[in-house]
Structure 1
C-alpha cells in the first residue's frame, strides 16, 4: 500500500462565538435589564439623593441670634412641599418640627417681654414710695406697707416665673406613669378643707374612689391646687366651692372646680388663661396675684392631651372644666 497524499481538514471553532450564539437572547435580556437598572439609578438619584442633599444643605444653615424664630421658618423647600412619597413626608415632618421650635422661641421672647413689663411696675412703685418716704419728716406707716406689698408681689411673681420654668422642664423630661387621679384630687381637697381659715367658705366634693390615668401626678395635682387657690381667692370670706371628678365609658376624665364668687364675663373666658391676666373682679384676697396660675394649668393640661375651659357656674361664679383622655 502506497500513500499518495494526506488531506488535512481544520475546523475553526470559537467558544466565545458559540456561547454568544447560543445565549444571545439571554445576553440581550441582561443588557436590557442593566440599562433599565442604570436609568432607574439615575432617576432615584435625581428624585431622592438630590432632594435629600438640598434638604441637608438647607438644614445646615447657620442661625444668627437676631431673629431665630423667623429664621427657623425659612427651611421650607417649595419643590418638596407637594411630594407624596417618603421625601415629602420627611420634609413635612421637619417643617412641623422647626415650626414647633419657632413657636417656642417666639413664646419665650414674648414671655421675657411680659416678665420685664410685669417686674417694672412693682419696682417703679417701690422706688416712688421710697422717694416719697425719704422726703417726709414723720415716717408714714402706710407708705411702708405699700412698699412691703409691692415687694411681696414682686417676690411672688419671681417665684411663679421660676415654677413655670420648672413645669416646662418636667413636662418635657419626666416620664409618664399610671396612677389613681382620684386619690390625688381627694388628698388635695381634704387638705384645703382641713386648712380652711374661713368657716363660711364651704368646700364640697364628689370624687370616686378610683380613676386611673397616665401622666405626671405631681403636675396634674398642681392643676387642682391652682384651681382651688383661684376659687378660694374669689370666694372668701364666704361662699361655696365644689370639686367634681367624673368619667363615663370611653369618655374623657372630667374635673370641675366651681365657686360662688363674682365670676367672669363671657368675653373674658379665654383671656383668663393668658399670662399675667389679673383683671377678674372680686375679693381683696386676690391682691398681688401674679396671673400665672391659670396659664400654668392650661400648659400642664394641654401637655397631657387635654383641654381646660371656663364656664359660668350654677353657684354664680366661675366653673373651670378640665377634660383629659
Structure 2
C-alpha cells in the first residue's frame, strides 16, 4: 500500500471517529435536554394548577365540584399552562391524578407510585390533596417518539454528509502531503539515471521544503561533479596528446631524414619524454591523493631547514632570471611531517614562482609560529598576478590562468591541486590571495602537532 493510501485511511479514520463522536454526543445531549425541558415545563404547569386548585378548594370546601365535572380539570390544566406552547399538549391532562389528603384517587387513571411525581395541594394551611403526574419516560407518546426519530435521522444525515466531506478532505490532504514526496521520488529516479539538470525549486517552508532544497543542492553538486569529471577526462586527454604529438612528429622527422639524428635532437626528445613522465606522475599522485591512498611517513623534522634546502636548489635558477629571494625563517620549526611530501609541495610552489614571475621580480618566503601553536608558511611573488575570479580555482584539477600560463612555460595545472592534498593530509589549510608584491600570496597553515 502506497503512502498516499495510508495517509488517506489515517485521515479518514480520524475524521470518522470525530464525526461519530460529535453526532452521538449531539443526539444524547439533545434527548437528555429535551426530557429535562419537558419535565420542568410540566412540573411548572402542574404546580400552577395545584395552586389554583388549592384556591378553589378553599372556596368550595371539598373536591365535589371536580367530581361532578371531571372535564373542568382539563380546562384548569390548560389555563395553567402557556396557551401558545400548549396547543399540542392538551392531551397531557389525561395522565394527571387528583388524590385526596389521604392519597386516595379521586380523578384520573391509576399509576404506579414509583413512576409518578406528587405535587401537594394546600388551602393555605393544610394539605388537602395531591396532583400526581408520571415522568416523561413513562408517558412519552407517538408524537414525542416521532420527534426524536426525526432528530435521529437528522443526526444520521449529518453523519452521512460528514462521511462525504471526510472522504473529500482526506483525499485532498493526502494528495497535498504526498505530492512533494512523489515529486522527490521522480526527481531522485532521474538522478539515479544520470540526469542532474532538473530542479524542483519548492517554496515550501516545512520539513518537506527543506528536504526538497537539500535534494536540489545534491543534484547541483552531482551536476558540477559530472561536468568536472568530463572536463577532467577532456583535459587529461588534451594534456597527454600534446607531448605525444610532439614526440611523434620528432620521431617521424628523424625517420624520414628531415632532421638529423644528433645529440641536440635526442635531448629534445628526452625533454618531451621527461615532461610526459612528469605529467603522468602528477596524475598518478593526484589520483592517489583524491582516493586517500597517497602514502605518508610522518616523523618529527625541522621544517625551517627543509625550506632552506629546497630553496637553495632553486637559487641558481632564480638568479638567472634576476629574481630576488628573501626569507624570514626561524632557527628551528619542529613538527610531525612527511618531509618527502612537503618537499614535493615546496618544489611545486617554487616552480610556479619561477615559471610565472617576470624577470627581475621578487620572491618572499616566511615561516612564523602563531599563538595557537600552528606554523604559518607564506610564499609571495611579484607580478604578474591572477584575476579575482581565478583565485578560488587555482587548486582545481588542470586549471590554468590562460593570460599568464601556456604550455611552453606552464605546467598542466596539477601542481597546486597536489599541494592542497598534501596540506590537508597534514591537517592544515591552504589559501591563495593577491600578494602585496603584485603576484600571488600562498598561505599554508600547519598544526604544530600534525599527525
- Larger-gyration structure (1/2): 2
1:157 matched to 2:308? The reply is no
1:204 matched to 2:333? The reply is no
Q: Which of 229, 236, 250 does residue 115 from structure 1 map onto?
A: 236
Rate the CA distance shift 1:184–1:294 in 2: closer, same or farther, 3 A: farther
Q: Give the alignment's Cα RMSD to 1 decimal.
A: 5.3
Cα distance, 1:168 vs. partner? Answer: 2.2
Question: Which deviations, in whole Å up to 9, do the C-alpha atoms of 1:271-294 show, x marking residues without a partner?
Answer: 892626387879xxx967333213
Question: Which deviations, in whole Å up to 9, do the C-alpha atoms of 1:225-248 show, x marking residues without a partner?
Answer: 53234335668x998643224577
Cα distance, 1:103 vs. partner? Answer: 0.6
- Any gaps of 5 or more consecutive residues in structure 2? 1-110, 116-136, 139-158, 447-451
Which residue pairs with 2:443 in the alignment?
322
1:264 matched to 2:264? The reply is no
SS in 1 for 2:291: helix
Which residue pairs with 2:79 in the alignment?
none
Deviates more, 1:55-64 or 1:191-200: 191-200
1:146 matched to 2:264? The reply is no
Which residue pairs with 1:102 in the alignment?
223
1:277 matched to 2:400? The reply is yes
Which residue pairs with 1:307 in the alignment?
431
- State how 1:45-124 maps to structure 2 within 5 Å: 45-61=174-190, 68=194, 71-74=195-198, 76-78=199-201, 81-124=202-245
SS in 1 for 2:270: helix
Cα distance, 1:193 vs. partner? Answer: 4.9
Cα distance, 1:163 vs. partner? Answer: 1.9
CA contact (8 A) 1:198 1:238 kept: no
Q: Which of 169, 190, 205 does residue 291 from structure 2 map onto?
A: 169
SS in 2 for 1:308: strand
Using structure 1 for the length normalisation, give the TM-score: 0.60
Rate the CA distance shift 1:112–1:184 in 2: closer, same or farther, 3 A: farther
SS in 2 for 1:84: coil
CA contact (8 A) 1:133 1:140 kept: no
**Alpha-carbon distance in 2 for matches of 1:322, 1:128:** 42
**Alpha-carbon distance in 2 for matches of 1:248, 1:226:** 25
Rate the CA distance shift 1:42–1:306 in 2: closer, same or farther, 3 A: farther
Higher relative contact order (CA 8 A, sep 6+): 1
**Alpha-carbon distance in 2 for matches of 1:184, 1:72:** 48
CA contact (8 A) 2:363 2:380 kept: yes
Rate the CA distance shift 1:44–1:163 in 2: closer, same or farther, 3 A: farther
Question: Which deviations, in whole Å up to 9, do the C-alpha atoms of 1:117-163 show, x marking residues without a partner?
Answer: 12111111111111111123952222211111111111111111222
SS in 2 for 1:99: helix
Question: Which deviations, in whole Å up to 9, do the C-alpha atoms of 1:194-230 show, x marking residues without a partner?
Answer: 6567396856234597899xxx999888655532343
Question: Which deviations, in whole Å up to 9, do the C-alpha atoms of 1:139-193 show, x marking residues without a partner?
Answer: 22222111111111111111112222223223xx99xxxx99x978536414425
Matched length: 273
- Any gaps of 5 or more consecutive residues in structure 1? 1-6, 14-30
SS in 2 for 1:144: helix
Using structure 2 for the length normalisation, give the TM-score: 0.46
CA contact (8 A) 2:355 2:409 kept: no
**Alpha-carbon distance in 2 for matches of 1:259, 1:143:** 35
CA contact (8 A) 1:243 1:257 kept: yes
CA contact (8 A) 1:227 1:294 kept: yes
CA contact (8 A) 2:356 2:384 kept: no
Which residue pairs with 1:186 in the alignment?
304
**Alpha-carbon distance in 2 for matches of 1:63, 1:126:** 43
Rate the CA distance shift 1:253–1:55 in 2: closer, same or farther, 3 A: farther
